[in-house]
Structures are given as structure tokens and as C-alpha cells.
Amino acid sequence: MADSNVAITAGSGTPIDTQIPADGSDHRQVVVLGSPSTNARVAEVDANGRLLVAATGGSAGAIGPTQIESTSANSALALAVSTAGNVTFWLAGTATTTTAAVTAGSVTFEQSVDNTNWSPLLCVRSDTGAAVSTWSGTLSAGVGLAFEAALEGVAFVRVRPTANASSGTLFATIIAGGMAFSPSMTLTGIPAVTLAAGSSAVGTVAAPSITKATQASTGFTVQPLRDAGRVAVTLNANQVAPSAATTDALTSMTPVRDGVNGTAATAFAVTSGKRFRIQSITLSMRLTAATAAWSRFAIRSTPSGTTVATTSPIVWQMELSSQNVAATGYVDRFHADFPDGLELPSAANFALVSQASGTGVALTVSIVGFEY
């Protein structure tokens, strides 16, 4: 439909409200929302042309206070709430402002679409913020208890007594409101937060329980878990003679933990509760006789409780050779880095095994890593 205007003469008794636009063009009709006699009751439009309105809630129905439960009588209290957005259930000891005590009462909050078939209605208890569909307990004298719930798609609600009070009489009031209600929620599965006394902003966070080397569903640290409780570990064998047999032999090494020498041994165990991460292995084979030779190295490991042997599973191995050079003092070297670590699990047993093709060989080994 094309734009149109009505030609009028502005002045007393003008039948149509008009306004001259900012560009100075013809008068335009103005529709006033509210009372034009007071600016406080006229709807406004912001600089972007959006209508500004304020909505206030109002009661969409109420019933009670009504006796629903006592030592001798029980009767449900129901209310139609198809036009309501939220509902509040009030429980008290009497219908007066000075309420009496009720001991061991019990009720269930329910919802329905046909006023015949009922199901539990989840409410938020006002004094604790807990989500509940039932209540049982004791009300002290002078105390009322409120439960609130949203009502999207609900036509009827009721509060139904489920057990007699041992003393006193329980009254209920149902008040339905026109505004939507967003219940409070309690999150689970996240670290608990405890605020310091007298403060609403500064607090301490209780860390979740995390097992090192085990993936957790939640966790936070100020450093990588591999650095928490880290202990530097090296294992060294210096100029040792390998087995000249055709099978591996356990090789004696001396452990050093955080700079402290340990006792030389042919087998070791990862500290219980930690993992051993190998960062590098350096090997060298030196000929002590003018005979070409080769040597083989391997790390063998077994789970906790099992003795490591020359036939245990191999987790890493390498072979060095003089490449047919037969000269005393010839050295062949090898260095291996493990950027993400070669790891052995908690309490695992491990050993370095070696063998060589002849007796004129001296081996040097250095295994560098850390436990965490």
C-alpha cells in the first residue's frame, strides 16, 4: 500500500496527533502508547528506532491458604495455571500470619495437563536452592517455606500430602505468576569453590583428585603433571665387557638419582606410584683388540611382580659394529633422543642386556631420564 497523509490544520481540537520529521517534510501521524498527559506513561523509541517497553509481573491466580494435611486429614490442593509462567507453593503451620509448628509433614508437588493424570513437578526450594519434587520434615513456629517452579506447557499444579504430621496442621498456598521463572541450578563434575570468610570475590579452589600418568575428566595444575615430583635418574655402565655368548646377558649399571649414586645392579624397578620416562640413550663400543666386532644392546622390561630376565619383552634395542675394521681403540657410537619420552610404568622391572661377537670389546652406556 502506498504512503499517504491527511492534510490538517494544526491547532486546538486537532483530531489527529502529528509530528514534523527531522527533515522538515509534511506532518506525519503519530500513535501514542499510554497516556499523553504524563511522559512517564508514554512508550519511547530509542535512537535505533526500537520501541522501549517495561514488563511487570502479575498474579495469574492464587488459592489458599488451605489445610492439606494434619494428624487426621489429608487433601490435595490444586490450581489451574494455563495462563501462568511460574508458580510458588507456600507451606506453613496455620492460615494466620503467626504460624504454628508442624512436625514430620510430607508432601509431593505435581503437574498435569488434564487435571486427572499427574506427574512430579520439579521445584526450587527457596531457602537452599535445591531442586526437589517432594518435601518432608518439620516447620518451626513462625516459619513459612516456599518452592518455585516454571510452568511451560503446564495446565494444572497441585501439592499433595503423602504422610500425616505427627503434630500440628500443615497449610498450603499456591500463587501463580505471569512472568517466566528460571530456576537456580547446581552444577556437578567441576572443582568445588570455597570463598574466604567475609569475601564474595576472593576464594580458594579445591583441586580435584588426579593420579599422575592417568587421564582425568577434570584437572588443573600450575605445571605439567610430569614435572610434579620429578626425580632425575641416570643409569651408567662404563667400559664393561659384554657377554661373548650368542645370547643376551644382563649388564651391570650404576643408578644416580638427583645426583646421588646408588648401588650397581643388573636389574631395576620403577618407583611405585611413579613412571620412568627415558629421554635419551647413549651407547659406545670400543675395540680392545685388533679384531672386527659387533655388539647388541636391548632394554627388556616386565610388569610389577615379575623378575626381568634375558628373555623378557624388549622395549628398545640397537646394534653397533666396527664395520670390518680390526684396529685396537676403534670406537662406534650411537645416541638416541626420545622427544616425548620412552616410558616404563609404575613398579615395572627393567634391565639393559648386551652381547658381543668377541672378547675384545668394551661397552659404555648412559641412560638419561626422570621419574614422575
DSSP β-ladder status, 249-250 and 231-240: unpaired
- Confidence band, pLDDT 50/70/90 cuts, at residue 29: low
Mean of the per-residue pLDDT values for the chain? 82
pLDDT at position 50 is: 73
Whether 91 has a pLDDT exceeding 50, the answer reads yes
Residue predicted with more confidence, 218 or 233 = 233
Percent with pLDDT over 70 in the chain: 72
Which sequence spans correspond to the domains of the chain? 59-177, 231-371
Residue 189 has which C-alpha cell?
563434575
231-371 CATH fold: Jelly Rolls (2.60.120)
Average confidence (pLDDT) over 322-332: 93
Percent of the chain with pLDDT strictly greater than 90: 48
Buried b (16+ CB within 10 A) or exposed e, 42-78: eeeeeeeeeeeeeeeeeebbeebbebbbbeeebebbb
Least confident of 19-33, 96-110, 158-172, 242-256: 19-33
Do the two domains 59-177 and 231-371 of this chain adopt the same fold?
yes
The distance between the two most distant Cα atoms of the chain, rounded to a whole number of Å, is 127
What number does CATH give the domain 59-177? 2.60.120
Measured between alpha carbons, how far apart are the two ends of the chain, in Å?
Answer: 79
Query: What is the spatial distance between Cα 101 and Cα 167, in angstroms, rounded to a whole number?
Result: 8
Give the SS3 label for residue 225. helix
Does the pLDDT at position 370 exceed 90? yes
Find all residues with CB under 8 Å of 13, minimum gap 6, and list them. Answer: none
Whole-number Å distance between alpha carbons of 353 and 28 = 99
8 A C-beta contact, residue 322 and residue 287: yes
**Residue 90 confidence (pLDDT):** 92
Q: For residues 332 and 291, what is the distance between their CA atoms, to the nearest angstrom?
A: 14
* Grid cell listed for 14: 486537532
Residue pLDDT, tens place only, 224-243: 666 667 899 999 999 998 87
pLDDT for 11: 65
Does the pLDDT of residue 191 top 50, yes or no?
A: no
- Per residue in 242-284, pLDDT (tens digit) is 877 778 899 999 999 999 999 999 999 999 989 999 999 999 9
Q: What is the pLDDT of residue 27?
A: 64
